[in-house]
């Protein structure tokens, strides 16, 4: 079996802060991290490999420094790592990203032995753009079924059985065949930390395969900014609305004051 895990490098969102005085971005030392859900995706792939045997390829599209997240994936235990990097990929929206990722997967699929199965695992969303669109669009591009928001995953013979959560009121158990793309929620597992020897291997024994637009034989009209139907037209920092009052006095006074304000605001 082959397992593809798509991982994305994102700015550690917790560090993106707004300076309230100047209303601008405080961007000092924003560290880049592996999208948290993608670590759950890696963990799932590793646990499948441990149970049933599989070869895991981690794939990321991004600038050269996205190499870091692939090294981390290698250190956790994935077998191969592919970085899709090319200036021509810049500015990609989810349509262009999923197309580019699909080219890499198709390229590797050529190695697939007869009757060998494969699955693709994505995170349910990336915390920077927060779209959750790349998974389903990638499944469409590969022409395979998808199951999103997965919190439990199992392989039984030729079948894949998953629990999908759309709402808190119900869990839907779905059965499908190979190949399939799933996107995982953080509830599915707790990602492992790389071991010391894993880290050493990731930097010394394993390598990262670089793929650019030419090696992927990408259609220029479908990648990067040109392949994107959506365009960012404007980016702005939201204005904070309303007054900000810190109440003072004794507890009784503060509570009194709060209630009066809430009455005025027609809440109480």
Ligand X SMILES: Nc1ncnc2c1ncn2[C@@H]1O[C@H](COP(=O)(O)O)[C@@H](O)[C@H]1O
Ligand Y SMILES: Cc1cc2nc3c(=O)[nH]c(=O)nc-3n(C[C@H](O)[C@H](O)[C@H](O)COP(=O)(O)OP(=O)(O)OC[C@H]3O[C@@H](n4cnc5c(N)ncnc54)[C@H](O)[C@@H]3O)c2cc1C
Interface residue list for ligand Y (CB under 6 A) = 14, 36
| All residues at 6 or more sequence positions from 54 whose CB lies less than 8 Å from its CB, including other chains | 1, 2, 3, 45, 48
Instruction: Decide if 162 contacts 182 (C-beta within 8 A).
Output: yes
Q: Which is nearer to ligand Y, 42 or 95 (CB)?
A: 42
Whole-angstrom distance, CA of residue 216 vs CA of residue 62: 15
Q: In this chain, which residue has its C-beta nearest to ligand X?
A: 123
Is residue 79 within 8 Å of residue 57, measured between CB atoms? yes
Fill in the DSSP letter of residue 240: P
Nearest distance from C-beta of residue 53 to other proteins, angstroms? 25
Q: What angle do CA 58, 61, 63 make, to 5 degrees?
A: 125
148 binds ligand X (CB under 6 A): no
Beta strands in 62-194 (DSSP E): 80-84, 118-123, 146-156, 159-167, 170-177, 180-184
Site string for ligand X, 33-52 (x = CB under 6 A): --x-xx--x-----------
Nearest to 163 by CA among 179, 178, 145, 176: 176
98 touches other proteins (CB under 8 A): yes
Smallest distance from ligand Y to CB 16, Å: 13
Give the up-direction half-sphere exposure of residue 24: CA atoms within 13 A in the CB hemisphere: 3
Residue 47 binding: pick among other proteins, ligand X, ligand Y, none (C-beta 5-8 Å cut-off by kind): none
Contact positions with ligand X (CB under 6 A) in 150-189 = none
Instruction: Give the CB-nearest residue to ligand Y.
Output: 36
Stretch 49-78: interaction string toward ligand X, x if CB under 6 A? ----------xxxx----------------
Cβ contact 154:160 at 8 Å: yes
Q: Which of residues 4-23 bind other proteins (CB under 8 A)?
A: 11, 13-14, 16-18, 20
Contact stretch for other proteins (CB under 8 A) within 46-54, 74-82, 112-120, 122-130: 122-130
Query: CB 227: neighbour CB atoms within 10 A?
Result: 21
Measure the CA dihedral 136/142/143/145, to 10°: -50
Q: Shortest approach of other proteins to residue 212 CB, angstroms?
A: 14
Among 11, 63, 129, 198, binds ligand X (CB under 6 A): 129
- For residues 20 to 59, the per-residue mask of contacts with other proteins, x marking binding by CB under 8 A and - elsewhere, is x---xx-x--x-----------------------------
Stretch that binds ligand X, among 1-9, 26-34, 74-82, 207-215 (CB under 6 A): 1-9
Cβ closest to ligand X, residue 75 vs residue 82: 82
């Amino acid at each position: 079996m082959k397992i593809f895990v798509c991982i994305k490098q994102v700015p550690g969102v917790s560090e993106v802060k707004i300076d309230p005085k100047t209303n601008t971005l405080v961007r000092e030392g924003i560290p880049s991290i592996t999208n948290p859900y993608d670590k759950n995706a890696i963990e799932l792939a590793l646990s499948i490999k441990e149970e049933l045997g599989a070869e895991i390829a981690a794939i990321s599209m991004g600038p050269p420094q996205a190499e870091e997240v692939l090294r981390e994936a290698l250190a956790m235990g994935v077998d191969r790592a592919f970085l899709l990097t090319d200036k021509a990929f810049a500015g990609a929206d989810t349509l262009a990203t999923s197309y580019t990722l699909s080219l890499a997967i198709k390229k590797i699929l050529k190695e697939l032995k007869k009757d060998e199965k494969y699955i693709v695992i994505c995170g349910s969303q990336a915390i920077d753009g927060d779209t959750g669109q790349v998974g389903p669009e990638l499944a469409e591009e590969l022409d395979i079924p998808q199951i999103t928001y997965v919190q439990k995953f199992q392989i039984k013979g030729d079948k894949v059985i998953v629990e999908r959560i759309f709402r808190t009121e119900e869990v839907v158990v779905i059965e499908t065949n190979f190949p399939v793309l799933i996107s995982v929620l953080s509830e599915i597992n707790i990602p492992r930390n790389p071991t010391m020897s894993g880290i050493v291997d990731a930097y010394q024994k394993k390598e990262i395969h670089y793929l650019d637009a030419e090696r992927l034989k990408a259609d220029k009209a479908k990648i990067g900014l040109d392949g994107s139907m959506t365009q960012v037209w404007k980016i702005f920092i939201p204005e904070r609305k309303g007054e900000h009052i810190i109440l003072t006095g004794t507890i009784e006074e503060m509570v009194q004051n709060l209630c009066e304000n809430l009455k005025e605001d027609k809440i109480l």
